[in-house]
Structure 1
Amino acid sequence: MFELDCSTVFPGCERVIRADSEAGVIRRAIAQANAFGIMRISPSMMDAMRGRIVELPAAAERAA
């Protein structure tokens, strides 16, 4: 399970995005950005998203 705290990339976003893969987190983060009115994801935003995704330990997956 992978996780991204949306507020670290998009100021004002309070969502924590989780998915089974990094690609899934990125897809959900882009959808969240679109909901915030951000229609173009710049290369630096994409780098920021990739750099802030964390892999959760297996124990955290079972607890969620």
Structure 2
Amino acid sequence: MYELDCSLVFPGCERVIRADTRAGVIRRAIAQANALGIERISPMMMDTMRERMIDRPETTVRAA
């Protein structure tokens, strides 16, 4: 599972974006940027997304 704190890339964003793949996180981050009114994703923003994305181990939650 990959994760990106959107506020580290786009000012004013309060989401944490998660997906099974890096590409999935990037797609969701671009959609979120568009929703925030950002029409163009610069190469610097793309680099920042890739740098700030983390790989979270999947955790299995068991019911008690």
Compute the TM-score of the two structures, normalised by the length of structure 2: 0.90
Query: What is the Cα-based RMSD across aligned positions, in Å?
Result: 0.9
Structure 1 consecutive aligned stretches of length 4 or more whose deviation exceeds 6 Å = none
3-state DSSP of counterpart to 1:58: coil
1:29 and 2:29 are equivalent in the alignment:
yes
Note the 1:12-51 alignment, pairs <5 A.
Answer: 12-51=12-51
User: Percent of pairs identical after alignment?
Assistant: 72
Which is greater in Rg? 2
Instruction: Identify, as 1 or 2, the structure richer in helix.
Output: 1
Residue matched to 1:3 = 3
**Number of matched pairs:** 61
Paired amino acid for 2:16: V
- TM-score (normalised: structure 1): 0.90
Could you give the per-residue CA deviations for residues 24-51 of structure 1, whole angstroms, max 9, x where no partner exists?
Answer: 0000000000000101000000000010
